[in-house]
């Protein structure tokens, strides 16, 4: 997985690009197909993690802009726990700190804590940049899901044609993701 999302245009995220699926799925061995799907799933986990961070930063910036003082711990907990859909955020279960996350230079200001919450122009600009980044992450994640669906469909076809092949997935320890996207 290489290159960047949408090229290296100024202001766009430098994300790993998802390997293109093979021209013919038959080019991949079953093991290579599983590995391809696993890499897609791991990339999707990373992008989902970044999206959650972006959403949390937007929520904090917006909440701070409605107060003339720093948020209290209770307010911060409420802001970070509320998704606006009635569901609370859940932590990413499968984080491996040793692995690099995608490079996101556009989000350098995500970590800036010195934005004056009363400077509505600065807050609006920061939130706008974060929403743009979130949109790019969402588009990239959508592409990942499409490729995951294609790889999964191919695995299903192969398993239907050769049911015993499905059992070989259990021959090696499970090292994939915790959300069902591991080595299929």
Residue with tokens 């499970």: 174
Percent of the chain residues topping a pLDDT of 90: 15
Is the pLDDT at 154 greater than 90? The verdict is yes
Q: What's the whole-model pTM score?
A: 0.69
Spatial distance between the Cα atoms of 177 and 120, rounded to a whole number of angstroms: 40
Query: pLDDT tens for residues 45-95?
Result: 888 888 888 888 888 888 888 887 778 888 888 888 865 555 555 554 454
**Average pLDDT in the 116-131 region?**
87
């Amino acid at each position: 997985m290489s290159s960047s999302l949408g090229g290296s245009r100024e202001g766009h995220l430098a994300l790993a690009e998802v390997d293109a699926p093979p021209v013919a799925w038959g080019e991949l061995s079953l093991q290579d197909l599983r590995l391809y799907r696993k890499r897609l799933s791991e990339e999707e986990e990373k992008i989902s993690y970044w999206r959650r961070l972006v959403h949390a930063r937007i929520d904090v910036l917006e909440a701070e802009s409605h107060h003339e003082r720093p948020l209290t711990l209770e307010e911060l907990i409420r802001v970070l726990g509320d998704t606006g859909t009635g569901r609370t955020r859940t932590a990413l279960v499968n984080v491996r700190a040793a692995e690099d996350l995608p490079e996101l230079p556009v989000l350098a200001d995500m970590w800036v804590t010195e934005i004056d919450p009363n400077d509505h122009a600065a807050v609006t600009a920061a939130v706008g940049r974060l929403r743009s980044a979130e949109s790019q992450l969402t588009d990239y994640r959508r592409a990942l899901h499409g490729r995951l669906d294609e790889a999964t469909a191919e695995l299903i076809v192969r398993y239907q044609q050769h049911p015993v092949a499905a059992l070989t997935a259990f021959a090696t320890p499970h090292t994939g993701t915790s959300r069902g996207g591991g080595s299929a």
